[in-house]
Amino acid sequence: MSDPPKSADELPDWGPKMRALANDRQRAFVCALFEAPRKEGRVIYAARAAGYGTPESTNKSLSVIGSRLNVSDSIQAAIAEESQRRLRGLSPTAITALENLLGDPTHRDHARGIGMVLDRADPVATSHNITVEHKAAPHEVVAATKEVLARIEELARRAGIPQLPPPIDAEFSVVPQGANP
């Protein structure tokens, strides 16, 4: 494990959340969480590595100290920030591993590896099919065709309406019955 940083100012590459921590021990605790040798006991390892407790402190007491630190909002925010930073730092290793994967056509994840590279080199164009549905009333979509106008004239005659004003979407004239068109 690397030595815990002495001061936030000495390491200007800390993110704002790490800088916001109360002291260097807390920053060391966060870093040590990432460097713990195994999943189990990570909190105890980090608490001890950051200098909490005494050399005689039991695992139980270190576990209490570490757990309290681990659930504090400022430590949680710093862990999230550090996770992002370390994830980006993993890229060279990941690329190397991916190159190995791509170079081995017999590997069961070979095809998936190619897909991952292609996705990142030339991101898949995502298409969204958005259906905009406008339920127009039937009378809103009827065009003023010759047939429609003839039907209007016929219905108006049946309803006893001798003369109607012209519809606003069509030239309209009532031709008297028997008149030459």
Partner 1 sequence: MSASPDDPDKIMSEEEHHAWWATLSDEEKMVAYVPTGYQHLLLVIAYIKRALVLCEMKAGERLHHLEWLNKQTDNYISPEMLAIIEPMSDAEIAMMHEARSLDQNESDSKSFEILTNWKVFNSFLALNPSILAAIRLRERRVIKTKSLAAELSTLVGTRG
The residue from 71, 121, 132, 137 that contacts partner 1 (CB under 8 A) is 137
Residue 135 CB, shortest distance to partner 1, in Å, is 15
Read off the amino acid at residue 179. A
Work out whether 164 is an interface residue with partner 1 (CB under 8 A). Answer: yes
Q: Residue 9 to residues 3, 6, 23: CA-CA distances in angstroms? A: 16, 9, 11
- On whether the CB atoms of residues 32 and 45 are closer than 8 A, the answer is yes
For the record, the structure tokens of 146 come out as 């010759």
Alpha-carbon distance of 177 to 174, in angstroms, equals 9
Work out whether 167 is an interface residue with partner 1 (CB under 8 A). Answer: yes
- Signed CA dihedral, 39, 45, 49, 51: sign only: positive
Residue 156 CB, shortest distance to partner 1, in Å, is 6
Work out whether 139 is an interface residue with partner 1 (CB under 8 A). Answer: yes
- On whether the CB atoms of residues 37 and 45 are closer than 8 A, the answer is yes
Read off the amino acid at residue 45. Y
Work out whether 141 is an interface residue with partner 1 (CB under 8 A). Answer: yes
Query: Judged by CB, which is closer to partner 1: 128, or 158?
Result: 158
Work out whether 146 is an interface residue with partner 1 (CB under 8 A). Answer: no
Work out whether 168 is an interface residue with partner 1 (CB under 8 A). Answer: yes
How many residues bind to partner 1 according to rule CB under 8 A? 26
Query: Judged by CB, which is closer to partner 1: 24, or 153?
Result: 153
Q: Cβ neighbours of residue 174 under 8 Å, at least 6 residues apart?
A: 153, 163, 164
Work out whether 158 is an interface residue with partner 1 (CB under 8 A). Answer: yes
Return residues touching partner 1 (CB under 8 A): 137-144, 148-149, 151-152, 155-156, 158-161, 163-165, 167-170, 172
